[in-house]
Structure 1
Amino acid sequence: MSATIPATLPVIHLRRSAGRAAVPGPGRGDGRAARPAETRWLPAHDDGSVPPVGPGGPRGPVGPGRPGGGPPRGPRPHWRRIALVTGIAVLVLALIGGMGAWFYARSLDNNMARTDPFSEITGGRPAKAVNGAMNILMVGTDSRDPDAPVDQAGKWRADTIIVMHIPADHQKAYLVSIPRDLYVPIPESAGAGCETGQRRKINAAFAFGGLPLAVRTVECFTDVHIDHVMAIDFAGFKQVTDALGGVDLKVERTITSIHKPYREFTEGINHMNGAEALDWIRQRKQFPDGDFARMRHQQEFLRALMDKAASTGTLTNPPKLNAFLRSVTDAITVDEGFSLTDMAVQFRNLRGENLTFVTSPHLGSQTINGESVVVSDRENALVMYQAMSGDTMAEWVKANKQAGNGNG
């Protein structure tokens, strides 16, 4: 009994549609094997025609895999796992970089000469933590000063004495220069009381008792507690300057150096290399204010060095930055508790514009016992050093309008 197809049921014609035809023969002529023909079944219209395949055509099951054809979709990637692995890799690289920076900073720390200037002062004192206000005694010496007598070449002199006060917020620094000829009481020894000894030029303290007696003398004179000590050999700053590519210094009047090779410094801004800058900051006899001019030039030199060191051209140039840091650590001697890494972190915001140079108040030069000395303005000096001890130097500078002029 044969079945009858109802007239109302639509007839669906299925037609075999060939995909890519197979190329006969063992190969395709290009060295690649032939692909088998692909069979696709397409629905037909009532009249037997086949709708077009492609854009605008049906999107039915025209091939293996996912709808619409194409290769089957594989398992979804585990993005969380990828992110975790990437994060771990970045962390490892950061740790390696941090360890490298730590070892580099430690090598710089070890490159600095060390001394213990506090051992004779009240039995020594504990290391100062790098927080709160801080006072650092900076003693500039020149082991190869051409003005030093040849037969005393081994005796260093304190040509520059600066008390550097850093407020508790670590955003500024006040550098108070003490004239090397300032007439002050010098104790008999670093461990003796302030009332002992006799009055002499303050730089004699370094010559007689080295850094320990220099610290004791400055503390007795200022009544300011010294936390750290840094001795700077200005002769070594020749290499520091050259490592930075030289510095620009202002020459207020044209002079000829009194030291060989008798350089001429022309009025205006001069770009100086290490030898030239060192020669310039040694000059004093050609200026009406003599030693005060030299002290002022040293202040300007230190500011220029800091500005150049903090410039983009230095910080973004690893070889140049390394040469600068190595030359600095070669030129300074610090106390046992001084940590270069701690200082770098705490005082990273300091720049030349954050430095205020002040000279210890004085009454000028006088002749006492046959020698020319600088006499301290005791009343005004006392007020200033009390401001330093009380961490109110900003207020004192504003009241006295001394910022930037370098004069007492």
Structure 2
Amino acid sequence: MVTPEPAEPPAGQPSAPAGRRRRRILFAVLGALLAAGVAAAAFLLSPPRTPDAGPAQSPAPSAAVTPSPTPPPEPPPTALNILLIGSDSRVNQRGAAAAGKASDQRADTLVFLHLPANRQQVYGISLMRDLWVSIPGHGEAKINASLELGGIPLATRTVESLLGQRINHTVMVDFQTFAALTDAVGGVDVNVKLPFTSTIDPGVAFSAGVNRLNGARALDFVRERKAFVDGDYQRVRNQQTFLKAVLATAVKQSVADRAAARNLAATVLPRVTVVPGLTLDALARLTFSFRNTPAGGAFFTLPTAGDGTSDDGQSIVVQDPAKTAELVAALRANKLDTYVAAHKLQNGN
């Protein structure tokens, strides 16, 4: 038992100022990873561009040249699963978590992203942090304890076991990194449906309608739970709202400069933890495969049986085996679109 607790301007028009261009590229680079305290899926949403060859010129006479062989076509994209983890740590413990070591941090946010092979949708499934599950090698505990007990590898195995899916990459950020990345992209606009006053940072209020969030305010927004009647459930809905806002911004403001995005990626990647790691070449290929993916996505929470109490007195969220099995079957059969439509989950929650 575990103790409680991501066009060029028309010819003749100037390009955007460098600062704004860098910021737009960075939006594309960070996109989806910011929402749940993570940062990398927008790489998958920004199309690369072929550099402008300049004005046409008549070729100078030269000897016949053997044409270069046509490069082989890119292999078709395959389905991809990414686990997004927002750690509750206020200090840098990424090394320990990546290595699978026990550490003083829990998974404050868990979002399973499923990206179908046709890239026509992005599905995000939030997992309640207090969901009572079986953690491989440790018995039953809250799912957020998996990160504390065995770092990213154990958290990944736990979610794989729960959802019956292989996770290709797990991405994690902590509090400090989340705030820094949000500020790096110039802030994010979210539509607040349920206004509230923060209990984390007294005096900070989130009014109904569009709110511009910097790093500190974004952190307050996605962490708050005590201000709500249903606590963590509304917090998860706010996290989904934030993630969808970042995805929409990444698509709207993304730029297709492969070289610039690659250079920025080299700057951004050290700030986040990706297990197993992704090379820049791999990210470029993923980017191209997502050039036609619609913005927004379908985000919802894994159905549960509500709140409960564990045998040792912890307040927990109880699994609903039948509803979980229904979702697992939809994932295995590649029919999440049917599942989402049947449960009216297209807009999340």
Q: TM-score, normalised by structure 1?
A: 0.59
- Mapped pair 1:257 → 2:257: no
Matched residue SS, 2:58: helix
After superposition, residues 150-161 of structure 1 pair within 5 angstroms as 155-161=104-110
Could you tell me which residue of structure 1 aligns to residue 135 of structure 2?
186
- Mapped pair 1:83 → 2:58: yes
Report the AA paired with residue 291 of structure 2. Answer: R
Question: What's the offset of the Cα at 1:324?
Answer: 7.3
Matched residue SS, 1:135: strand
Q: Answer whether contact 1:135 1:163 (CA < 8 A) is retained.
A: yes
Report the AA paired with residue 135 of structure 1. Answer: N
1:298-349 Cα offsets, whole Å, 9 max, x none, are 111112122222224x53899x978975675344211235332222122233
Could you tell me which residue of structure 2 aligns to residue 168 of structure 1?
117
Could you tell me which residue of structure 2 aligns to residue 283 of structure 1?
224
Query: What is the alpha-carbon distance in structure 2 between the residues aligned to residue 325 and residue 294 of structure 1?
Result: 30
After superposition, residues 10-49 of structure 1 pair within 5 angstroms as none
After superposition, residues 286-301 of structure 1 pair within 5 angstroms as 286-301=227-242
Query: What is the alpha-carbon distance in structure 1 between the residues aligned to residue 266 and residue 174 of structure 2?
Result: 14
Query: What is the alpha-carbon distance in structure 2 between the residues aligned to residue 253 and residue 398 of structure 1?
Result: 25
Could you tell me which residue of structure 1 aligns to residue 298 of structure 2?
356
TM-aligned CA distance change 1:327 to 1:186, over 3 Å = same
Matched residue SS, 2:167: coil
Consecutive unaligned residues of structure 2, counting only runs of 5 or more, are 1-56, 62-74, 92-102
Could you tell me which residue of structure 2 aligns to residue 141 of structure 1?
87
TM-aligned CA distance change 1:375 to 1:130, over 3 Å = farther
Query: What is the alpha-carbon distance in structure 1 between the residues aligned to residue 118 and residue 82 of structure 2?
Result: 16
Query: What is the alpha-carbon distance in structure 1 between the residues aligned to residue 179 and residue 128 of structure 2?
Result: 23
Could you tell me which residue of structure 2 aligns to residue 98 of structure 1?
none
Query: What is the alpha-carbon distance in structure 2 between the residues aligned to residue 301 and residue 404 of structure 1?
Result: 13
Q: Number of residues paired by the alignment?
A: 266
Could you tell me which residue of structure 2 aligns to residue 342 of structure 1?
285
Q: Which of the pair has more CA radius of gyration?
A: 1
Report the AA paired with residue 358 of structure 1. Answer: F
Query: What is the alpha-carbon distance in structure 2 between the residues aligned to residue 276 and residue 323 of structure 1?
Result: 28
- For residue 77 of structure 2, the aligned residue among 131, 144, 159 is 131
Query: What is the alpha-carbon distance in structure 2 between the residues aligned to residue 255 and residue 336 of structure 1?
Result: 38
Could you tell me which residue of structure 2 aligns to residue 205 of structure 1?
146
Report the AA paired with residue 301 of structure 2. Answer: T
Query: What is the alpha-carbon distance in structure 2 between the residues aligned to residue 324 and residue 310 of structure 1?
Result: 17
- Mapped pair 1:403 → 2:342: no
Could you tell me which residue of structure 2 aligns to residue 119 of structure 1?
none
Q: Answer whether contact 1:247 1:272 (CA < 8 A) is retained.
A: yes
TM-aligned CA distance change 1:316 to 1:245, over 3 Å = farther
Q: Answer whether contact 1:239 1:327 (CA < 8 A) is retained.
A: no
TM-aligned CA distance change 1:327 to 1:166, over 3 Å = same
Matched residue SS, 1:250: strand
Query: What is the alpha-carbon distance in structure 2 between the residues aligned to residue 220 and residue 316 of structure 1?
Result: 37
Question: What's the offset of the Cα at 1:357?
Answer: 0.3
Q: Which gives a bigger RCO, structure 1 or 2 (Cα 8 Å, sep 6+)?
A: 2
- Mapped pair 1:391 → 2:334: yes
Query: What is the alpha-carbon distance in structure 1 between the residues aligned to residue 164 and residue 247 of structure 2?
Result: 29
Matched residue SS, 1:334: strand
Q: Answer whether contact 1:306 1:351 (CA < 8 A) is retained.
A: no
Matched residue SS, 1:210: helix
Consecutive unaligned residues of structure 1, counting only runs of 5 or more, are 1-81, 87-128, 146-153, 189-196
Could you tell me which residue of structure 1 aligns to residue 23 of structure 2?
none
- Mapped pair 1:368 → 2:304: no
Question: What's the offset of the Cα at 1:133?
Answer: 1.4
Q: Answer whether contact 1:243 1:327 (CA < 8 A) is retained.
A: no
Question: What's the offset of the Cα at 1:130?
Answer: 7.7
Could you tell me which residue of structure 2 aligns to residue 22 of structure 1?
none
- Mapped pair 1:306 → 2:281: no
Query: What is the alpha-carbon distance in structure 1 between the residues aligned to residue 255 and residue 77 of structure 2?
Result: 25
Could you tell me which residue of structure 2 aligns to residue 219 of structure 1?
160
Root mean square deviation of aligned Cα: 2.9
1:260-289 Cα offsets, whole Å, 9 max, x none, are 363122222212222111111111101011
Identity of aligned residues (%): 38
Query: What is the alpha-carbon distance in structure 1 between the residues aligned to residue 169 and residue 346 of structure 2?
Result: 24
Question: What's the offset of the Cα at 1:174?
Answer: 0.7
Query: What is the alpha-carbon distance in structure 2 between the residues aligned to residue 252 and residue 171 of structure 1?
Result: 27
Question: What's the offset of the Cα at 1:392?
Answer: 1.2
Could you tell me which residue of structure 1 aligns to residue 33 of structure 2?
none
Report the AA paired with residue 298 of structure 2. Answer: T
Off by >4 Å, runs of 4+ in structure 1: 320-328
Could you tell me which residue of structure 2 aligns to residue 79 of structure 1?
none
TM-aligned CA distance change 1:204 to 1:335, over 3 Å = same
1:103-135 Cα offsets, whole Å, 9 max, x none, are xxxxxxxxxxxxxxxxxxxxxxxxxx9832121
Q: Answer whether contact 1:309 1:315 (CA < 8 A) is retained.
A: no
Q: Answer whether contact 2:240 2:300 (CA < 8 A) is retained.
A: no
Report the AA paired with residue 307 of structure 1. Answer: A
